[in-house]
Structure 1
Amino acid sequence: MNSNRRSFVGGMSAATLLSTARVAYGQKQYDEGASDSTIKLGHTNPYSGPASSYGVIGKGLQAYWKMVNDQGGINGRKIDFITLDDGYSPPKTVECVRQLVEQDKVFCIFNLLGTPTNTAVHKYLNQKKVPQLYVATGASKWGDPQHFPWTMGYQPDYNTEAQIYAKHILANVKDARIAVLMQNDDAGKDYVDGFKKGLGKDVDRIVKLASYEVTDPTVDSQVIQLKSSGADVFFVNGIPKFAAQAMRKAADLGWKPRIYLVNVSAQVASTMEPAGFDNVQGVITAAWLKDPTDKQWDNDAEMKAWHAWMAKYMPGGNLGEVNYVYAYSVAFLMTETLKRCGDMLTRANLMKQAADFRKFRVPGLLPGITVSTSPTDFYPVQAVQLQRFKGKTWELFGDVMSAEST
């Protein structure tokens, strides 16, 4: 027998067929925006406009990806992070995102900030099958994989958060008369819907609701209306600029209700200090991140690592700004998600990995809070703990509460 004889299958030798199968099995797969050397991530942020205090998030993300690249990237690939200023204007967001997808050809849109801005590109990105991943907004609509399989949230949803405030009011304020300030957009409406749900049969405890537009110069007139209602509880629902204005104006008017403040405006640096520390004592909000002004975290290993990162990559950054902790945490989760993709950098695999976390610990989250997702659960963080403002910082109290707690 000729030992050199080869077996052929369909015109291809068995050896070649086996070799081809091995190559296919270990083959790298890429969608647009990913390659052997680079992963392109697109992002928009309000570096200008009424929500510009959130610009620190974009700056923090840029610093985080610089650290990742300095350390060799993710699975040997550098991150090309393209961030654009949309001014918190939905039409501008549409323009920016189209540029990122159609011209810059990013692999995915990561942590785009704002409820109205994300809403403006929600359908477009899902039609294009471009991941809209870990969005920087807590609107409940971001957890709808059945209808929008390419969009996933990150932080606790506004609806659940507001329910927690409402139930705390009912349990702690006898015969409460509640005034509500609402930002007139999807985020504000989501908060109010959850708040009413939490009040249940006591929804008539709301004696006055006043809304504002993000283009308004102030909310002074709205606060005057709310005070005149005779309310003894004030639910402040808005972005930092207007939340600070509202609490300062209430104090100027001599109105001293119990104040509940939405988490997205609970920053010491951009809300509480501008409102005046004397005016915000006792304000209650929900937390899910470690606040860097809280001294209990001074010797915490995660916060020590965060401080080291700030010192190296954000020198001069405000160490009292919790949104830098936010940027650090969400970028850490994105890094892990991309790592798990390995060499299969397809958009479908990215969403598959994002939907497969089980009680995953992300630095910066409060103790007892982890990330869990599944193909039917697109809400990564689903727990909060209440905190009260005292002095120049927040003090946590009570237990960690999840959606089930409400």
Structure 2
Amino acid sequence: MNRHFRSRRAVGIAAASALALTLTACGGNDAGRGGDAAEGAPSPGITDDSVTLGITTPLSGATAGPGTCTVAGIQAYFGAKNAEGGVEFGDGQTRTVEIEALDDGYDPQQAAANYDQLKNDVFAMTAGLGTPTNRAWRDAAIADEVPQVLIMTGDPLFSDTEQSPWQLGFVPIYQNEGEAFGELLAESGEEHKVAILSQNDDYGEGYVEGFKSAVEGADNIEIVEELTYEATDTSVDAQITELANSGADVFFNAMSITPLVISALQKAQQLNWLPSWFLPSNTSSPGAILQPGGAEAFPGIYSVSFAKAPQSPAFAEDEDVQAYLAALKEYGDYQDPPAFPHCQWSWMVGATLDQAFQEMTEPTRENFMEALRSIEGYQAPLMLEGTSVTTTEDNQPAVSTVNVQKYNGQGYDTVESFG
């Protein structure tokens, strides 16, 4: 039986500054830009024939790998749907879905500029990666009443329904991931010393908060040292060296920058410090991070997931995985299975949007948000058993359940206990 946890509260690259990916030829978005002055009038970005979605995400720089995946998965999903004739909406119209994606390089200022460029041409913003980058234009989206939904950040702010009805996160919040690992560790019954390295922002703080809440009161767990790093840092060697002297046998590493995770794995081995590791779901890729970092040297690498991994032999014949990989190859410009889970996540985003579109009875952003907020227990393609999409709960992202997994040298296996 899988172990599930519920949150208590997250290709091709063109120019470094802007990349637009269009799934289908578009004609006449202006026909759908009558604004919202009249009740029921079409919102910007939607016509009787098409709907356009916007994405701002890192397509260059250190986070280009996962960022590119956030476009590729949804591009592949709707590329396949468009090839079949499009999506049948609840108002009786069948529409193709177009994607306009711009590169923000994980820079908040550029992300805000991208939003300004897209907001009058798209029906909704979706899928983009990053907490600081999504936060950079959140207030503007609220003021403009533009949906900012199913985005790739575990920041609880984006699922705070009291503050705004226009936002909704997709992935489990950071606290949920940290809590899941903390509970697994505390319930091991064995004494463990833990060292923590976290990103010095809301991302890192959220993971650590969730972890600490789960181990609080656990007599067998001792946090012996805690350090931070900046997302702009080019090395964490000094922090790893200091933590290696702590005597910790478990390393809780809340890090979002791919090259730094790889170098941290390598530096720990150079120092002959071989603890068990916990890594966030967005920086735990076997092919892109663990294998280059030599993760096999450690007694255990743990993370969490809610998505089937195409690289896993357990899913080699899975129909969902096969359909996903075929579409990703044809429409997402990936010839091989992607190294990052964000491709799977954005494929699920596409499927979730599809569900909302099917329930829309009016071509308006308001009606879209009502439809999106009505999804309960939806088993999106590629979801692991026991996880689902539910958007009806206040202050929760679309996905709030995860499975704890342990690296097996090629992929991950779901586990019930630590060790």
- Give 2:345's aligned amino acid: Y
User: Does structure 1 retain, via aligned residues, the 8 Å contact 2:127–2:346?
Assistant: no
Report if the CA contact (8 A) 2:304-2:404 is conserved: yes
Verify the 8 A CA contact 2:183 2:214 in the aligned structure 1: yes
CA deviation profile, 1:261-287 (whole Å, cap 9, x unmatched): 111112122211221243355211111
Deviation for aligned residue 1:378 = 4.0
SS of the counterpart of 1:77?
Answer: strand
String of CA shifts for 1:343-396, please: whole Å, max 9, x gaps.
x12111111111111211100110121111216354221211111111222111
Secondary structure of the 2:412 match is strand
- In 2: Cα distance, 1:202 partner to 1:47 partner: 42
Flag the structure with larger Rg: 1
Contact 2:193 2:247 in 1 (8 A): yes
1:7-406 equivalences in 2 (<5 Å): 29-54=41-66, 55-75=68-88, 76-102=94-120, 105-172=121-188, 174-202=190-218, 205-239=222-256, 240-280=258-298, 282-314=300-332, 316-321=334-339, 322-342=341-361, 344-374=362-392, 376=394, 378-398=396-416
Q: Distance in 2 between the 1:169 and 1:113 partners?
A: 29
Find the residue that maps to 1:172 and give its secondary structure: coil
Conservation of the 8 A alpha-carbon contact between 1:33 and 1:39:
yes
CA distance in 2, matches of 1:345, 1:269: 42
Paired amino acid for 2:239: Q
- Counterpart in the other structure of 1:9: none
Aligned-residue identity in percent: 28
Find the aligned partners of 1:176 and 1:39 in 2 and give their Cα distance.
Answer: 53
Q: For 1:133, what is the secondary structure of its paired residue? A: strand
**Unaligned residue ranges in structure 2 (runs of 5+):** 1-38, 89-93
Q: Residue 23 of structure 1 aligns with which residue?
A: none
Asked if structure 2 preserves the Cα contact closer than 8 Å seen for 1:237 and 1:243, the reply is no
Give 1:127 deviation, angstroms: 1.5
The 1-side partners of 2:286 and 2:161 are apart by 34
Matched residue type, 1:231: A
8 Å CA contact 1:178–1:205 kept in 2: the answer is yes
User: Alpha-carbon deviations, 1:219-257, whole Å to 9, x = none?
Assistant: 111111111222111011112332222122111210011
Give TM-score, length-normalised by structure 2.
Answer: 0.83
Task: State the secondary structure of the residue aligned to 1:178.
Answer: strand
- Cα deviation code 1:45-98 (max 9, x no counterpart): 111122112122223333333222222222322222110000011111111111
**One-letter code of the match for 2:294?**
G
* Residues paired across the two proteins, number: 370
Q: Quickly say closer, same or farther: Cα 1:144–1:223, change in 2 above 3 A.
A: same
How far residue 297 of structure 1 moved from its aligned partner, in angstroms, is: 1.0
Give the direction of change, closer, same or farther, for the CA distance of 1:252–1:193 in structure 2 (3 Å limit). same
Of residues 141-150 and 306-315 in structure 1, the stretch that sits farther from structure 2 once superposed is 306-315
Could you report, residue by residue, the CA deviation over 1:198-223 in whole angstroms, capped at 9, with x for unpaired residues?
A: 12235982222221122211211111
Shift of 1:171: 2.1
Is the alpha carbon distance of 1:33 and 1:215 closer, same or farther for their aligned partners in structure 2, counting shifts above 3 Å?
A: same
Unaligned runs of 5+ in 1: 1-26, 400-406
Change beyond 3 A, Cα 1:184–1:258: same
Mapped to 2, the partners of 1:188 and 1:301 lie a distance apart of 36
Q: What is the CA–CA distance in structure 2 between the aligned matches of 1:281 and 1:65, rounded to whole Å? A: 41
Letter in 1 for 2:204: G
Q: What is the Cα deviation at residue 38 of structure 1? A: 2.1
Q: What does residue 4 of structure 1 align with?
A: none
Q: For residues 2-39 of structure 1, what are the alpha-carbon distances to aligned partners after superposition, in whole Å with 9 as ceiling and x for unaligned?
A: xxxxxxxxxxxxxxxxxxxxxxxxx9741111111221
**Partner Cα separation in structure 1 for residue 59 and residue 224 of structure 2:** 36
Q: Distance in 2 between matches of 1:297 and 1:197?
A: 34
2 CA distance for matches of 1:117 and 1:320?
23
Task: Output the TM-score relative to the length of structure 1.
Answer: 0.86
Q: Distance in 2 between matches of 1:269 and 1:352?
A: 39
- Provide the rounded CA distance (Å) in 2 between the counterparts of 1:149 and 1:266: 32
In 2 relative to 1, CA 121–303 (structure 1 residues): closer, same or farther, beyond 3 Å?
same
Report the counterpart of residue 27 of structure 2 in structure 1.
none
Q: Could you tell me how far apart the structure 2 residues matched to 1:53 and 1:281 are?
A: 27
Secondary structure (helix, strand or coil) at the match of 1:180 reads: strand
**Alpha-carbon contact 1:208-1:226 (below 8 Å) kept:** yes
Report the structure, 1 or 2, having the larger helix content.
Answer: 1
Two-structure CA RMSD over aligned residues (Å): 2.1
Q: Which letter does structure 1 place at the counterpart of 2:392?
A: S
- Tell me, what secondary structure is at the counterpart of 2:210? helix
Amino acid at match of 2:187: A
State the alpha-carbon separation in 1 of the partners of residues 276 and 299 from structure 2.
10
Q: Which amino acid aligns with 1:39?
A: V
Distance 1:316 1:118 in 2: 26
Q: Retained in 1: the 8 A contact 2:76–2:330? A: no
